[in-house]
């Protein structure tokens, strides 16, 4: 008896933790199908009496989820791709080309970037965007997103590229490839595992980013999902059923991506933080 209890105590505690993680989601999903606030208030834990799909329809229209969703998607994907291209070029030059001393210096400089907290540099970056005349356009997000991810991207990719044996380039030179050819045809394909990791981390970071998006964009049509959702909440604060439907819309895509790619995502996100 004691042994059985001892064995299951881990499971009991962990199931408790799981419940704490999952219960808020269940609460929101149940609430999203309820008729109105009073039904939520009367039976907060229970299933809805009738499944009310109306909340989903009205939330989709009122919250402009489709607009925010597409904005977020294209900004996050585009920024991540540009970062990877620029970061890969720099990593390649620093690790594979023969400029030892300058490369070391440049790499150290980029490392320094991991120490600089970017939230506290928001004000100068705001001014910079103002000077570039891009405030309140998507460029005001894309350019900082690309730049902010560079240190992490270069560190991870440089580490990976360093490990590629130099015979590869010798062989490539014999075959008559140029530097650009070596980069695009030989080194990049070999770096794909690192590219995937970096893409996931950068994509999630951009997809979830709130501060810049909140202060650099004021046009409603241009908002990304996080700021759009906050806007939606502030506008329909008293209709919790509809708000819950909005939350479900914004959570489900991430959950689906996470379910499919979870191993790679966990690996990437934790690698990013430790090495940074």
Partner 1 sequence: MNKAMRNPYIYALFVIPALVLFVLFFIYPLINAVYYSLTNWNGVSDHLKFWGFKNYTKALTDDTFWNAVKNNGYFILFSCFIQVPIIVICSLMIANVKRFKSLYKTAVFMPTVMSTAVIGILWGFIYNYDVGLFNKILGFFGVEAVDWLGDPKFAMLSILITNGWQWTGFYIIMVLAAILSIPKDLDEAAEIDGATGYQRAMKITMPLIMPVVSVVIMLSIAGAMKAADIIIVMTKGGPAGSTDVMATYMIKYAITNFKYGYGNAISVIIFVFTMILTVLYQVLIARRSERIEY
Residues between 51 and 80 with contacts to partner 1, criterion CB under 8 A? none
Among 13, 47, 235, 256, indicate the residue that binds partner 1 (CB under 8 A).
13
Q: For residues 225 and 73, what is the distance between their CA atoms, to the nearest angstrom?
A: 9
- The stretch near partner 1 (CB under 8 A) out of 49-57, 60-68, 189-197, 204-212 is 204-212
Q: For residues 258 and 264, what is the distance between their CA atoms, to the nearest angstrom?
A: 9
Among 50, 57, 74, 170, indicate the residue that binds partner 1 (CB under 8 A).
170
Q: For residues 180 and 161, what is the distance between their CA atoms, to the nearest angstrom?
A: 15
Could you tell me the smallest distance in angstroms from the CB atom of residue 130 to partner 1? Answer: 9
Among 73, 78, 179, 184, indicate the residue that binds partner 1 (CB under 8 A).
179
Residue for token digits 């928001």?
A: 122
Per CB under 8 A, which of residues 90..109 are in contact with partner 1? 90, 92-94, 96-99, 106, 109
Could you tell me the smallest distance in angstroms from the CB atom of residue 60 to partner 1? Answer: 16
Could you tell me the smallest distance in angstroms from the CB atom of residue 165 to partner 1? Answer: 14
Could you tell me the smallest distance in angstroms from the CB atom of residue 153 to partner 1? Answer: 9
Q: For residues 213 and 216, what is the distance between their CA atoms, to the nearest angstrom?
A: 5
- Burial letters 27-53, b for 16+ CB under 10 A, else e: ebbbbbbbeeeebbeeeeeeebeeebe
3-class secondary structure, 151:
helix
Instruction: For residue 242, state whether it binds partner 1 (rule: CB under 8 A).
Output: no
Q: For residues 63 and 249, what is the distance between their CA atoms, to the nearest angstrom?
A: 10
- The stretch near partner 1 (CB under 8 A) out of 52-60, 63-71, 167-175, 186-194 is 167-175
Could you tell me the smallest distance in angstroms from the CB atom of residue 53 to partner 1? Answer: 20
Residue 95, C-beta contacts closer than 8 angstroms, at least 6 positions apart = 103, 158, 161, 162
Instruction: For residue 240, state whether it binds partner 1 (rule: CB under 8 A).
Output: yes
């Amino acid at each position: 008896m004691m042994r059985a209890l001892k064995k299951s105590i881990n499971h009991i505690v962990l199931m408790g933790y799981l419940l704490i993680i999952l219960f808020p989601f269940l609460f929101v999903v149940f609430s999203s199908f309820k008729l109105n606030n009073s039904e939520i208030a009367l039976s907060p834990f229970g299933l809805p009496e009738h499944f009310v799909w109306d909340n989903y329809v009205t939330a989709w229209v009122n919250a402009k989820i489709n607009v925010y969703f597409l904005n977020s998607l294209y900004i996050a994907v585009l920024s991540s791709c540009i970062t990877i291209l620029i970061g890969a070029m720099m990593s390649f030059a620093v690790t594979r080309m023969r400029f030892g001393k300058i490369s070391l210096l440049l790499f150290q400089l980029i490392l320094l970037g991991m120490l600089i907290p970017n939230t506290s540099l928001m004000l100068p970056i705001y001014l910079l965007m103002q000077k570039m005349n891009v405030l309140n356009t998507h460029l005001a997000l894309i350019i900082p997103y690309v730049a902010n991810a560079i240190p992490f991207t270069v560190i991870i990719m440089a580490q990976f590229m360093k490990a590629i044996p130099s015979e590869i380039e010798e062989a490539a030179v014999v075959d008559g490839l140029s530097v650009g050819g070596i980069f695009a045809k030989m080194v990049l394909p070999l770096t794909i595992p690192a590219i995937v990791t970096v893409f996931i981390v950068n994509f999630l970071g951009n997809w979830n980013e709130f501060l810049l998006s909140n202060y650099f964009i004021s046009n409603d049509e241009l908002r990304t999902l996080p700021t759009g959702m906050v806007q939606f909440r502030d506008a329909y604060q008293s209709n919790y059923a509809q708000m819950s439907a909005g939350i479900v819309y914004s959570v489900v895509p991430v959950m689906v991506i996470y379910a499919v790619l979870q191993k790679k995502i966990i690996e990437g996100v934790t690698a990013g933080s430790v090495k940074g």
